[in-house]
Chains A and B, each alone.
Chain A
């Protein structure tokens, strides 16, 4: 009798495959299935009603969803660029520090150690129009104003961007600093001998070398920021009048408060497109940047 044997590599990987299937694959398939149903948490029987692409059609024609989608892209773009510029600046300054650099690096990571919910509450208080620190500081400097930081469309967006940037700029700084540490000194010294200005050295030697690190940071942060939820939910809840509504505040309200999990899952699958597009774009740029400094494609 022939007894079929699984290849060794498969047997060795089987426990991992089972675990991943249980915690990732099955929930993924289940949520994809439920996005084709009118599944309401409070009416479990609705899970077995097939409505085809109804939820997707509803989303694709829903101006509110696309407004939240567009706002998320805008939020993502501004946050990533600000974090990059500030992170690069901090890393370059940090690289010049000769004494106490380790302590500084630890301090730099403090904001990352806070839970996003705490950061949300902290900035909700700081930007409160009535009892907040910022307005009180402005008033004690003689400005008799109460700026509605969390209400005005532009100020509210600024406030949540500020909180997000405050918390996560150090991710960029730390990754870029790692790049600076790994950088060979020879090209910089050669450039100095050849009479390059500091700007020329930075623009043509340091920056190209750092680009792979920057794109890795960009990829990681783009996935994080596209899922921004805690800080926004605490600070503005997506309001007022949907002025700060992002994909995840919309999705969580639809799924958990309105209990329309089928619709929320459909929103989730459409919004995954955003993360996929950004990831492909940054990986493409990463390969190009690696090729440019001779690290292969």
Chain B
């Protein structure tokens, strides 16, 4: 296994060297003596890309000073404080499609700084999700997120178990294709406190995003065209009932309402969860024998369907240039470099999903030609899953609305309120927020 890791490392470093060569070849402009201050998202899966910044510095003569490197939630608070204090003369900031609409007036429209042919090389839907009010606020990096279904393969290889399931539920035990099947199987597999059928994010924006995509899968929506809340519809109630039923049946860990992404990832990696809707960034971790007890037993399938369509809440990371930046051309050059084809090839070699069409194609071709069937299976699932991807409403109030909604969703899940009461209370609060914000 170690040999495999070394091989992977060698391949990765080879691709980085190859990418670096072409970086030198491409003209990133000349910005001698310019210093670009940047606030970037930190974390293991994001850091690899920053090692390439030295190449851009060598090619342009400019220097990059990373003045802040934190999680996105921390960066978000810092940026809001900067906006309040008027200290926004740094140049490049990490951004995210869910956060971008909040920073009104902070970032430039990159349509003015980036050539149209460069923008055309990205997946059009992702450029659309990076555009707010007609302004392209960020260029996407190779960190596109849409969730797919991870499952433990061994649960589908036991004939006795399959027969017992079919006898109880009346259809064969196969990898679930609908959320109803996920619910049945989760309840069937669950053996708390030792083993759970599934799990879900239980607080903050995370649970609202999960609920939102279920509402869409059931044929409803979160807001209407005027940004009025409509998630308390029948579709919304069916969506929330799914979470409630699983919780009541003990098919999810009792603490799931306090879980967010790390807890969920660690939970599935502990091998005690049968089915797990999760982000692409975890694929490598789940199948790494040194990090995960589920390694070698992990299957990846396209995300299941609701009664109308598949779920597909998505988001992506990117880089933006501030309006107060002194040298916007240099900053835009850095952003183009960090999101270039070479950068995306290098970054997506770590398992994350690219946002450029050519890099998608290259990755799928490489996986098919390679000897890693898990990677090929995962990429095929992500490619299928990306077709159903949709971003959250591009309004500044999205984040604030999730803070109003998530305690109500929790209240229904833990049994403090009925599904209808909880959703009506949440809709009332969001309605007040939208009115205050002047949407209607």
B203 within 8 A of A: yes
Q: What A residues does B411 contact at CB under 8 A?
A: 240-242
Q: Does the CB pair A151–B407 fall under 8 Å?
A: no
Report the minimal beta-carbon distance from A216 to chain B, rounded to whole angstroms. 36
Contacts known (A130-B255, A144-B193, A242-B407); A256 close to B80, Cβ less than 8 A? yes
Q: Does the CB pair A240–B202 fall under 8 Å?
A: yes
Report the minimal beta-carbon distance from A106 to chain B, rounded to whole angstroms. 35
CA distance A110 to B416 in the complex (A): 39
CA distance A245 to B203 in the complex (A): 13
Q: What B residues does A131 contact at CB under 8 A?
A: 270
CA distance A288 to B80 in the complex (A): 49
CA distance A257 to B208 in the complex (A): 15
For A54, the closest partner residue in chain B by CB is: B436
Top-8 shortest CB links A-B: A146-B193, A148-B254, A129-B255, A241-B411, A240-B257, A241-B410, A240-B410, A41-B80
Report the minimal beta-carbon distance from B254 to chain A, rounded to whole angstroms. 4
Report the minimal beta-carbon distance from A162 to chain B, rounded to whole angstroms. 16
Q: Does the CB pair B103–A237 fall under 8 Å?
A: no
Report the minimal beta-carbon distance from A19 to chain B, rounded to whole angstroms. 21
Contact of B400 among A43, A239, A258, A261 (CB under 8 A): A258
Contacts known (A41-B81, A41-B83, A130-B267); A240 close to B203, Cβ less than 8 A? yes
B414 within 8 A of A: yes
Contact of A130 among B193, B257, B396 (CB under 8 A): B193
CA distance A150 to B416 in the complex (A): 15
Interface members, chain B 246-262 (any A CB < 8 Å): 253-255, 257-258
Q: Does the CB pair A44–B86 fall under 8 Å?
A: yes
Q: Does the CB pair A41–B84 fall under 8 Å?
A: yes
CA distance A135 to B406 in the complex (A): 27
How many chain A residues touch the partner (CB < 8 A)?
35
Q: Does the CB pair A129–B254 fall under 8 Å?
A: yes
Supplied contacts A144-B193, A242-B407, A261-B84, 7 more A-B pairs, CB within 8 Å: A130-B267, A148-B254, A151-B254, A237-B203, A239-B407, A241-B407, A260-B400
CA distance A41 to B258 in the complex (A): 28
Q: What A residues does B35 contact at CB under 8 A?
A: none
How many chain B residues touch the partner (CB < 8 A)?
35
For B258, the closest partner residue in chain A by CB is: A150
A259 within 8 A of B: yes
Chain B interface SS verdict (over half): helix
- Interface centre among A41, A139, A147, A260, by most chain B C-beta atoms within 10 angstroms, is A41
A-to-B contact residues, CB < 8 Å: 41-44, 128-131, 135, 139, 144-153, 236-237, 239-243, 245, 253, 256-261
| Cβ contacts B379-421/A at 8 Å (1 or 0 each) | 0000000000000000010011001001110110110110000
Q: What A residues does B102 contact at CB under 8 A?
A: 42, 259
Q: What B residues does A139 contact at CB under 8 A?
A: 193
Contacts known (A130-B267, A241-B411); A253 close to B104, Cβ less than 8 A? no
Q: Does the CB pair A257–B253 fall under 8 Å?
A: no
Q: What B residues does A258 contact at CB under 8 A?
A: 399-400, 403
Q: Does the CB pair B410–A239 fall under 8 Å?
A: yes
CA distance A128 to B255 in the complex (A): 7
Q: Does the CB pair A256–B257 fall under 8 Å?
A: no
Interface members, chain B 172-200 (any A CB < 8 Å): 192-193
B109 within 8 A of A: no
Report the minimal beta-carbon distance from A163 to chain B, rounded to whole angstroms. 15
B341 within 8 A of A: no
For B85, the closest partner residue in chain A by CB is: A44
CA distance A152 to B410 in the complex (A): 11
